[in-house]
Amino acid sequence: MTPGVLAAVAAVLLVAGVALLFNGLVRARQHVREGWAAIDVQLQRRASLVPNLVETVRGYADYERQTLQRIVEARGALGAATGPRDAAQANDDLSGAIRAVFALAEAYPDLKASDRFGQLQKDLADTETLIARARNYYNGAVEAYNNRVQTVPGVLVARLFGFPPAEFFAAEGAARAAVTVDGLG
């Protein structure tokens, strides 16, 4: 074989290799986006339950305005969050506010015994489970993507075509504890 043919074969192999790496990065980035969309859907689902929770609690404990205001503010912050880091912080704040409302219910036996409140607790607990599953999928997709973006040879193609690392969706501090929902039996 002549040097020209060898160079042409090498060039074709190089282009094919770059194309394979590029396509793999695109697929991995799409899995990250898919995972984030699943988290977003579940966060919105939970946020849509919050007004019902606030109204139900307000009917039994109207003077607990500070607790109810905290949950409304946390819901608003979640709606305004941009990106995984902000959403994770807002999610943590909303989880803490929901825990405070559930703790408040302990002081109001009529509220705790309310069918509506019990159903909201169940719906919120189910949503927390779905959020956890979506977070696991998303973080797995982020790990796979970041491994491609930050290891050789993918790092070369990622830098060339502008594939930045993705952020994990991680709980902070007290939010690492699961939301406890009592009275579902």
Can you give the pLDDT at residue 98?
A: 92
pLDDT value, residue 173: 54
Length of the chain in terms of residues written: 185
- pLDDT number for residue 58: 85
91 band by pLDDT with thresholds 50, 70 and 90: very high
- 106-137 tens-digit pLDDT: 888 888 889 999 999 999 999 999 999 999 99
Mean pLDDT on 65-70? 86
What confidence tier does 1 reach under pLDDT thresholds 50, 70, 90? confident
pLDDT score recorded for residue 120: 93
CB 114 within 8 A of CB 60: yes
Local confidence band at 182 (pLDDT 50, 70, 90 cut-offs): very low
* Percentage of residues in the chain having pLDDT higher than 70: 91
Cβ neighbours of residue 46 closer than 8 Å, sequence gap 6 or more: 94, 124, 127, 128, 131
Range of weakest confidence among 28-32, 60-64, 72-76, 114-118? 60-64
Token readout for 65 is 């305005």
> How many CB atoms lie under 10 A from the CB of residue 50?
21
- What integer is the mean pLDDT of 22-31? 98
